[in-house]
Structure 1
Amino acid sequence: MTLIDARSIPADPLSATRLEEAGFDYRLVGMDDPVAAGAFTQAVNRGFLGPAATDDEITWTAETWKARRNVGVYETGAAADALPVATLNSWVAPATVPGGQIPMWAISVVTVAATHRRRGIARNLLEGELRAAVATGVPIAGLTVSEATIYGRYGFGAAIPAARIAIDTGRAGWAGPREEGRLEYVAGEQLASDLGEVHERSRANRSGQIPGWETRWKTMAGLAAEEGKKNAGARGVRYLDADGELRGVMAYSMADQPGTFRSVLKIAHLAAQTDEAMRALWGFAVNHDLVTRVEVDLRPIDDPIVHLVADQRAVELTVHDHGWLRILDVPAALEARRYEGPAEAVVQVEDQYGFAAGTWQVRIGADGVASVLPSDADPDVTLGVADLSAAYAGGVPLAQLAAAGRVRGDARVIGALSRALRSGRAPLLGIWY
């Protein structure tokens, strides 16, 4: 798959004009300039309520952001070292979909200073990104969010749910099989390397994943720029199969429970190429000595852990939104994935921005391949682009959205499309971006 380098795409001219009229300078920010990189990083930290970044942290972060298209909004005439009042960066990533991959315009570090809210800045940032993606032919956009009420207005749908899991190990018991491979501790650079390797090998197993990056894995491995950071106590364990091949890895930490001589095992990331590896790593966590509770987030909602313990009531599983998608090109997006069964419908997509708006004849064959063409026929199904985007990765049933009044049309056709769109395994996005 050939991916566009988003850094080659200029700042959106319409957003630039609108923001200039409002007294702001909207522009791309180069991370090779240490002054600009420092101000940009400080603004991102401020936006996410973090402490001021140190020089080492700025250098660390800039290494990752050099590969991205960084956008800042500044007060007109601001000094060279002034912090932007808003930030965003983006890049084009290969996102897994059922049966394949698709180029996705990934959006991250969206912040607006609390002093500059409700002045149209966020709207112009997000709209500018969507126009940039459309102009370059990227068929979908995606992001992870800290506030779930913002992005629906831009056509994003909560497409990739995640499970937050907590296990009372004293009650749970272990009912899983004993695996033939072996577990071994791993730390530091090796842990970071293993996390990246297994994530990349395994991400095609489920819809919704994108590649990680070096500083993401190094941070999980406790190698962040500052030793005092939250992952400084990181530990790791990996699983090698019977042939000695790396198949799974887990980064975790221990949190003391005062006065008990017991700990909570907090999993930062569990990546498994095979079910065997996943079971072995879960077994390591649940059976760990002196651990009373295991906690993890960003697991698939069909994680089999409830069937690996003797007492399912010892497992708390909370589902929440995580990966948000936004379809920009309906034919390209729908034809890029494969389907669970045949279906045929005339689908009308509503999109206030016009990017995905239209009426489409969708034909899905018994082989799971779709053909999508413009149509003048009356629609069987009508829905907004956010709802089509929510159902796209196979994790949100179209029929469920219809029951919520978000999809309208022939119930029989909606049911057939819903069954076709579902994926055999729940989608997964195991990282934030």
Structure 2
Amino acid sequence: MSSLDATFHTADLDESLSASFAAQGLRVARVGDEDTAGSYAWTDAVARGFLDGERNDVQRRTAFELNGYRRKIGVYDDAGVDAAVPVATFASWGAELAVPGGTVPACAVSSVTVAPTHRRRGILSRVMASELLTAAGAGYPVAMLTVTESGIYGRFGFAPAAQAAHWKIDVRRARWSGPDAPGRIDFISREEGRRVAPALHDRVRVTTPGEIDMPGGHWDRAFGTRADAEKAEARRVVQYRSPGGEVEGLAIYTVTENHDDYAASTVTIVQLIAATDAAYAALWKFFLSMDLIGTISASELSVDEPLWWMISDQRAATITVRDHQYVRVLDVPAALRARSYDVDDTIALEVTDPLGIADGVFVVTAGEQAEVEPVDSAPVGVPLVRLGVPELSALLLGGVSAATLARAGRLETGDPARIARVFASTTTPRLSFWY
């Protein structure tokens, strides 16, 4: 844990937040890292909030052991029947977000729930605003989250910055037309896959805007190597090695048999990591060439997958695109300096922020090493963009064109195409998992 992450992890709750809840007969507290009982109750509340069943002791203990890196917040109703279980939960931690040409420290947010018994009391709004201010004060340039309800977070300054595609492929129609890779595919154990995956993922994520370092416990969840894993034995792992013997790709998958037609079974790809073009081609050809498989299902893919150009019949793929990785700029200069730009230009941004965190006017001198300076007003002759922090956050990863946002009425500028060229990225942003 970096010094920034450690500082944020143990930061005190804002006194005004505590006072506002006390006025409603509620109590807000950070769940201590060594508080086993408190963590178990917090985990129970999270499961309830996401409509899961009751947690058992193995699940509670595993969550406690693997989630110590999280800053866990609970809101409690001491007048309730089971006052130890929070009526609202919130988790966050320090992570690293890839942006075009670099990475930036980020505050990741997860496990946001409010019990149905305590809705419409402003609980989420107060906790989110307070924790975003704490994250900004600690020094994080951005915050980020993946969402189950997409309509909630825009009012806090978040915007979808990386979309995710779900593919359903009719294998019999698709027919592989991509290249043949020179290496080899081998089956490996789930434990071996768990061992090699982190380094492989780190090679890929830093060059893919939108990706983050894998949170604690997620690898074991993906490979079914954690104590509370269910049906772990259903998961199989293959890896791709180059002719030189280097592991360059890996995939986790499951098979669902079709008992009416065994030759029409379904492969679900849990995770596919490819550090080279050869690994990407080899892994996808492997799945499209499997016997007895009629359908391939894969989620959290890029909206610009090369696979689209590696199958003979593109209509064999049904693709659904949804919002996925949400980003929220907290420090405009630091966030924009973290990325590179493919054009040299100077523009001015007038940013409005509903929480007052990132308000201001900023001059951006774009290039491989950008300069971003706060100013009192936009200089004469420099094109000005008026936009909210959600729109700036959407632009950060290069996943949406400023010209598109201008046509949608989401920003104002006299030359949308010029602004679009500044923020454009040659790599489509994506995030390959949920957190």
* Superposed CA offset, 1:149-174 (max 9, x none): 00000000100111111111000000
2:378 equivalent to 1:377: yes
2:100 matched to which residue of 1?
98
Contact map agreement 1:35 1:80 (CA 8 A) in 2? no
Alignment counterpart, residue 408 of structure 2, candidates 377, 400, 404: 404
1:186 matched to which residue of 2?
188
**Aligned with 2:176: secondary structure?**
coil
* Higher alpha-carbon deviation: 32-41 or 191-200: 191-200
1:304 matched to which residue of 2?
306
**Aligned with 1:127: secondary structure?**
helix
2:5 matched to which residue of 1?
4
2:127 equivalent to 1:148: no
* Superposed CA offset, 1:362-387 (max 9, x none): 2213x453433324237721011001
Alignment counterpart, residue 399 of structure 2, candidates 395, 398, 404: 395
* Higher alpha-carbon deviation: 145-154 or 130-139: 130-139
* Superposed CA offset, 1:190-222 (max 9, x none): 122233221122111211111114521111112
| CA–CA separation in structure 1 for the residues paired with 2:305 and 2:373 | 33
Alignment counterpart, residue 366 of structure 2, candidates 343, 364, 367: 364
| CA–CA separation in structure 2 for the residues paired with 1:79 and 1:101 | 46
1:252 matched to which residue of 2?
253
Cα shift at 1:340 = 1.6
Task: State the AA in 1 paired with 2:258.
Answer: Q
Instruction: Provide closer, same or farther for how the CA distance between residues 69 and 179 of structure 1 changes in structure 2, counting only shifts above 3 A.
Output: same
What does 1:101-112 correspond to in 2, within 5 Å?
101-112=103-114
Cα shift at 1:20 = 1.4
| CA–CA separation in structure 2 for the residues paired with 1:420 and 1:246 | 36
1:35 matched to which residue of 2?
37
Instruction: Provide closer, same or farther for how the CA distance between residues 177 and 2 of structure 1 changes in structure 2, counting only shifts above 3 A.
Output: farther
**Aligned with 2:234: secondary structure?**
coil
**Aligned with 2:322: secondary structure?**
strand
**Aligned with 1:9: secondary structure?**
coil
In structure 2, the gaps of 5 or more residues are: none
Q: Superposition RMSD on alpha carbons, in Å?
A: 1.7
| CA–CA separation in structure 2 for the residues paired with 1:213 and 1:333 | 21
**Aligned with 1:345: secondary structure?**
strand
1:278 matched to which residue of 2?
280
2:89 matched to which residue of 1?
87
What does 1:34-183 correspond to in 2, within 5 Å?
34-76=36-78, 82-183=84-185
2:237 matched to which residue of 1?
236
| CA–CA separation in structure 2 for the residues paired with 1:364 and 1:97 | 14
Contact map agreement 1:189 1:218 (CA 8 A) in 2? no
Cα shift at 1:131 = 0.9
Matched pairs, number: 429
Cα shift at 1:230 = 5.6
Contact map agreement 1:362 1:371 (CA 8 A) in 2? yes
| CA–CA separation in structure 2 for the residues paired with 1:231 and 1:322 | 26
| CA–CA separation in structure 2 for the residues paired with 1:230 and 1:341 | 50
Task: State the AA in 1 paired with 2:250.
Answer: V
Contact map agreement 2:351 2:360 (CA 8 A) in 1? yes
Instruction: Provide closer, same or farther for how the CA distance between residues 282 and 3 of structure 1 changes in structure 2, counting only shifts above 3 A.
Output: farther
What does 1:209-220 correspond to in 2, within 5 Å?
209-220=211-222
In structure 1, the gaps of 5 or more residues are: none
* Superposed CA offset, 1:105-126 (max 9, x none): 1111001111110011111121
Contact map agreement 1:346 1:375 (CA 8 A) in 2? no
**Aligned with 2:206: secondary structure?**
helix
Task: State the AA in 1 paired with 2:77.
Answer: E
| CA–CA separation in structure 1 for the residues paired with 2:332 and 2:309 | 38
What does 1:265-344 correspond to in 2, within 5 Å?
265-344=267-346
| CA–CA separation in structure 1 for the residues paired with 2:287 and 2:127 | 42
Task: State the AA in 2 paired with 1:58.
Answer: R
**Aligned with 1:32: secondary structure?**
coil
Q: Identity over the aligned pairs, expressed in percent?
A: 37
Task: State the AA in 1 paired with 2:62.
Answer: W
Contact map agreement 2:142 2:329 (CA 8 A) in 1? yes
| CA–CA separation in structure 1 for the residues paired with 2:332 and 2:174 | 45
2:430 matched to which residue of 1?
428
| CA–CA separation in structure 2 for the residues paired with 1:356 and 1:107 | 18
TM normalised by structure 2 equals 0.95
Contact map agreement 2:155 2:354 (CA 8 A) in 1? no
| CA–CA separation in structure 1 for the residues paired with 2:123 and 2:216 | 31
| CA–CA separation in structure 2 for the residues paired with 1:263 and 1:12 | 54
Instruction: Provide closer, same or farther for how the CA distance between residues 272 and 348 of structure 1 changes in structure 2, counting only shifts above 3 A.
Output: same
